[in-house]
Amino acid sequence: MLVRHLPTLDDANGIYTPPDSNVGFAAIDESRLAGLREEISAFVHAHNIQHVYCSSNQRGVKTAEILFDGLSTKCKIAADSALGNMDQPEWGNQPQSYVKTTDKYRLWHSNPSTVQFEGGESLQDVERRIDKFLDRTSGQSAIIVSHTTPMQVLLCKLIGIDVDRIWCFEFEHYRLTAMFGQILLRYNAAKISDINFEELKL
C-alpha cells in the first residue's frame, strides 16, 4: 500500500520542496487524518501487515509516526533513503507558478525520461533506487510512505508499465493506494478496509 506524506507548508503555498528540507506540516485535517488512521489500522490487523517503510526525511518519518502511533505493535517503521523525493535542485524552493512556465517543466510532464536535473537526478536515477528497494523488500506485505515521483515509479514498476508513464498517476494527501501483485485494487481511495484478498479471483 502507498501513502503520500501529510501536506506541508510548501504544499499549501505551492512551493517545490528540496528532498531533505525540514519544512513543517500545514494545518492537519483532523477528521481526514482520523479516517485515514482507522482505515490503515483495520487493514493492518486484517492482513497482518508487519512492515512500514518511509522516506528518511523529516516529513516522511513524521507522517509514518503520526499514522502508525498506537495502531499496531506489530508494525515496524523503517526509514529508507530510496523512498526520498526526486532531487530537482533547479526547482527547489521555487514557486510552482514559476516552474510551470519553464520548458523543462513541460518536458518533464510530456517525456520525463529525457530530463536530467542539473546537480540532481534523472528519472532513471529514481528508478534505480526504487529497483534496489523492491529487491530488498521482495515478498513482503508492506505499507510505504513516500513522495510523488518515487510513488509514481513504484506503481509503474509494480503494475509492469514503462516508468516514462509516471504521469498516469498523481497521489493525493490523505488517500490510499493498494496493490496485490500486479493488480491495482485502490487508487487515491479513502477506504481500503473492505478489501478481502481471499475473494480475489486470480
The 10s digit of each residue's pLDDT in 59-111 is 999 999 999 987 755 788 999 999 999 999 999 999 999 999 999 999 999 99
What cell was used for 76? 515496524
Can you list the alpha helix ranges (DSSP code H) found in the chain?
Answer: 9-13, 30-47, 58-68, 96-99, 103-110, 123-136, 148-159
Going by C-alpha positions, the residue among 8, 57, 64 that lies closest to residue 40 is 64
pTM for the complete prediction? Answer: 0.94
Q: Is the pLDDT of residue 197 over 90?
A: no
Cα 112 from Cα 50, distance rounded (Å):
34
The per-residue pLDDT for 99 is: 97
For range 158-175, the mean pLDDT: 96
Query: Please, what are the domains in the chain?
Result: 2-194 (3.40.50.1240)
Mean pLDDT, range 4-10, rounded to an integer: 98
Mean pLDDT value of segment 128-141 = 95
How large a percentage of the chain has pLDDT more than 90? 84
The whole-chain average pLDDT of the chain stands at 94
- pLDDT recorded at residue 196: 82
Alpha-carbon distance of 21 to 55, in angstroms, equals: 12
